[in-house]
Amino acid sequence: MSNPFFQFKQFTIRHDKCAMKVGTDGVLLGAWAGTDSCNRILDIGTGTGLIALMLAQRSPAIIDAIDIDADACLQAQENVVFSPFAERIQVRHSALADFAQAATDRYDLIVSNPPYFVDSLKCPDRQRNTARHTDTLTLEDLLQDSRKLLASQGRIALILPYDQKERLTDCIRTYQLFLSKETSVIPVPGAQPKRLLAELTADQPASPASSDRLILEIARHQYTDEYIRLTKDFYLKM
């Protein structure tokens, strides 16, 4: 049986009620997303609340964290309550479309580690399917509704499978967004990129989008200096 919690430096994440456990993708996005000048942040598909808590550690922002799964919201709320950031994070049980229709706030940063398996074989666990597959939230719907919720100078930060880069490019054009920076995530030297970290804006950046890469490990459990620098404020043993 897996450990029901994951201990970070400033907070603990319990994930026994959630379909998706603490993983590298969430940690990467929570550490990578730009938080400068952020007063309000929205975390879409918060799950355990991990990314919301990481962003609360990195900024003084007020954070809304939403999820369509009721159990995930209960888990996230539990993790928030027992963190140092409880007064700045509100967990809401809501689909993004409903939230976008009712919301009056606009957000300086919108983050999401979205469901990203398209047309792939599903497992029998309904909750896990909701968290992993795009049936309930497509990339197109995510960006369309996020665009409505974005402040004029706001940013959207995502982590996606690298093979969805072309699809993301199409969505950016469709919803009149602009790529401001991207990082290709590579598991080990010589491997192909597995994930894409992307930051989007509503206003065209003054300069071309920055593009770099991040290699996670030199060998099994031997992390690169770049990955350690990115995550050292969170992982206990970094």
CATH code at position 216:
3.40.50.150
Give me the pLDDT at residue 3, please: 79
Give me the pLDDT at residue 135, please: 55
Give me the pLDDT at residue 221, please: 85
C-alpha 29/C-alpha 36 separation (Å) is: 15
Give me the pLDDT at residue 131, please: 40
Q: CA angle at residue 92 from 230 to 106, to 5 degrees?
A: 70
Q: Is residue 4 part of a domain?
A: no
Q: Is residue 13 part of a domain?
A: no
Could you list the residue range(s) of the whole structural domain that residue 181 is in? Answer: 24-231
The series of mean pLDDT values per 10 residues for the chain, 238 residues long, is: 85 88 93 97 96 98 96 96 98 96 96 69 44 65 96 96 95 96 97 97 92 95 96 93
- Evaluate whether 20 touches 47 at the Cβ level (below 8 Å): yes
Give me the pLDDT at residue 132, please: 41
Give me the pLDDT at residue 120, please: 39
Using DSSP, state whether 124 is helix, strand or coil.
Answer: coil
Q: Is residue 115 part of a domain?
A: yes
Q: Shortest CA distance to 107 belongs to which of 68, 141, 77, 62?
A: 62
- Number of domains making up the chain: 1
Q: Is residue 12 part of a domain?
A: no
Give me the pLDDT at residue 149, please: 98
Query: pTM of this prediction?
Result: 0.91
Tell me the per-residue pLDDT of 146-178, one tens digit each, with 9 for 90 and over: 999 999 999 999 999 999 999 999 999 999 999
* Burial of residue 45 (number of CB atoms within 10 Å: 0-12, 13-18, 19+): buried
Q: Is residue 66 part of a domain?
A: yes
Helix axes 24-32, 50-58, angle to 10 degrees: 30
Q: Is residue 5 part of a domain?
A: no
